[in-house]
Amino acid sequence: MKLFSIFVLLSVWLLSAQAAKSDYNIFCYWDGQSNMRKYRSVYQYWDVNTKYCTHLVYGSTLGLDPAGSGNVEFEYPEEYIDFNHMAKYKNLKNVQIKSIISIGNWRDQSSLISEMISDTRKRDQFYTSLIGVLYKTGVQGVQINWQFPAHRHMHSKDRENFVTFLHELKIVLDEHKFMLMVAVSARLDEKTLAAYDIPSIMKYADFVSLLVHNHQDPYSRQLSYNAPLSGDKLKSVESCVAHWVKHSKMPSKLLLAIPLFGQTYTMASSNTTVGSASKGPGRQQQASLRPGYTTFGEFCTQSGKWQRKFDNVTQVPYAYKDDQWISYEDGRSISAKTHVVEQQHLGGVLVMSLDADDTQAACGERFALLRVIISVIGDPDSLTTQAATTESTGLCPRDGFFRNMWECDLYYECRDTKRFDYECVKGYYFDEKLGECQPASQVECKQNFVTWRPGQKLYNFKNLPLNLKIVQ
């Protein structure tokens, strides 16, 4: 595990030395299902790292009414993603990050979306209910995640209906000043290519997220790479991005979706090379609780027990142990994908997903993979500040946010007996009553402490006062 961590950190260090640009958009996708994981893979609103992201996308959150009315509804109880708490957290951090909510997924939504967009009455119902949800949640836009139009015996006119739907939706959203994003499958197989009218989609969408990975891959009967850089013309990052750039003629609207998670398989034989026979998805992991899937934070802690390999042609790391096989990402593969964004002059990336990174610093720095992306196309200054530190039980007798006793612009969070230190932006102090940073002029800051420098004769270990602040 140590070598695994060292490689990721080395990648960050090397890339940070290069010139980095901050004019790219970094959309951080947050999978709503992460609330239901366990241990280090569980992810809550206070874990969101707003420093690195320009936008936050709430995923696995909204769906269509299963009864087919066209109404928008939450897929899970709303308390799983408490938007009031998230708004308070954004105020606490004093950030202006834009939030997007995503609707649609593979499991059961594709046919419902197909039915809705083919019916004028249901489309109108969708627009009305969606606007209500956007105002209720306080987000700034919506992402329509429909990766499989015209697949699985859905409406034959999905391609045309989807364009009509986006045209009407864009008019509605513009009236309320909301953003429109679209997530598509960027693979180049015949069915997928026939499903999208690329120029028309680009005309109405503010951003289009290109997804090369597919969560259904582990259910196939062969071992498959998650998102190979090159080598496979039908599903390599380079070929898929090039196709959309060529046909859209609007690269600045395109976002490359970069998966941070790993996809696992159960091997059917001892052959470990990609394309070999598979029995299906890998066994469910203890923390991520989903067959065929694992977070980077979960895998990195056990990677030392796996036989790890790297495919230099496709720029993909993979590993195997017993009958289990995984395609995952590391600093090297993430860097290679992010450089495609630069080379093709795309608008940025969609990080999929923020919660799949090493969010608890189990194997090195927090958000190690996201930091690689930042080092290539983000703001290099954001990497100079150390991530939140953790300290042991004695400093955190109860959960909550508390102001530093010496510095009013510093505060810390106690959670599960661990302490996480933060700092307000310049000119702000932490208000313990409100639980957020406020302009310094509005916050009472009592500094009734005694300063002492090591070596001064005024105090020694026998008579140190409790309100003593040691300075250098």
User: Would you say residue 356 lies in a domain?
Assistant: yes
In the chain, how many domains are there?
A: 2
Range of the domain at 150: 2-383
Spatial contact of 337 and 344, defined as CB atoms under 8 Å apart: no
Residues 47 and 131 in one domain: yes
Q: What is the CATH number of the domain that holds 461?
A: 2.170.140
Note whether 316 and 433 are same-domain residues. no
As a dihedral over the C-alpha atoms of residue 296, residue 139, residue 255, residue 24, rounded to 10 degrees, the angle is -90
Residue type for position 56: L
411-to-44, 108, 176, 309, 427 alpha-carbon distances in Å: 19, 44, 37, 43, 14
- First vs last C-alpha separation in the chain: 37
179 and 318 inside one domain: yes
Does 388 map to a domain?
no
Q: 378 and 411 share a domain?
A: no
Domain end, chosen from 383, 402, 418, is at 383
Q: Domain containing 197 — which CATH number?
A: 3.20.20.80
Q: Supply 161's token pair.
A: 């209906």
pLDDT at site 274: 93
The bridge status of strand 428-431 relative to strand 436-439 is antiparallel
Q: Are residues 466 and 366 in the same domain?
A: no
Instruction: Verify that 130 and 226 share a domain, yes or no.
Output: yes
Considering the domain architecture, whether residues 286 and 348 belong to the same structural domain is answered as yes
Q: Output the tens digit of pLDDT for each of the chain's 472 residues.
A: 443 343 333 333 333 333 334 689 999 998 877 665 544 445 555 566 667 888 989 887 788 998 989 999 887 665 555 565 555 545 545 456 788 999 986 556 788 888 999 999 999 999 999 999 999 888 899 999 988 765 655 567 899 999 999 999 999 999 999 999 999 999 998 888 988 999 999 999 999 999 998 877 878 889 999 899 998 888 999 999 999 999 999 999 999 999 999 999 999 999 999 999 999 999 988 767 788 889 898 888 888 889 999 999 999 999 999 999 999 999 999 999 999 999 999 999 999 888 888 887 777 778 889 989 998 998 777 675 444 444 333 456 566 778 887 788 888 777 666 667 777 878 888 888 877 788 999 998 876 555 555 555 554 544 444 444 554 4
Q: Is residue 38 part of a domain?
A: yes
Q: Do 368 and 420 reside in the same domain of the chain?
A: no
pLDDT at 106: 58
Q: Are 252 and 374 members of one domain? A: yes
Check whether residue 450 and residue 368 sit in a common domain: no
Single pTM value for the model? 0.75
**Which pLDDT score, from 0 to 100, does residue 35 have?**
61
Domain end marker among 336, 357, 383: 383
In a domain, 53, yes or no: yes
| DSSP sequence for 358-405 | -TT-SSSSTTHHHHHHHHHHS-GGGGTSPPPP---GGG-SSSEEEE-S
**Residue 109 — left, alpha, or beta (φ > 0 → left; ψ -120 to 50 → alpha)?**
alpha
Question: Is the residue at 37 inside a domain?
Answer: yes
What b/e string do you get for 209-234 counting C-beta neighbours within 10 Å, with b at 16 or more? bbbbbbbebbeeeebbbbbbbebbee
**What local confidence, expressed as pLDDT, does residue 8 receive?**
39
Per-residue 3-state assignment (H helix, E strand, C coil) for 184-228: EECCCCHHHHHHCCHHHHHHHCCEEEEECCCCCHHHCCECCCCCC
Same domain, 297 and 407: no
Contacts of 17 (CB under 8 A, 6+ apart): none
Final residue of a domain: which of 323, 349, 383?
383
Identity of the amino acid at 395: L
CA-wise closest residue to 378 among 424, 341, 332: 341
For residues 348 and 21, the answer to whether their CB atoms sit within 8 Å is no
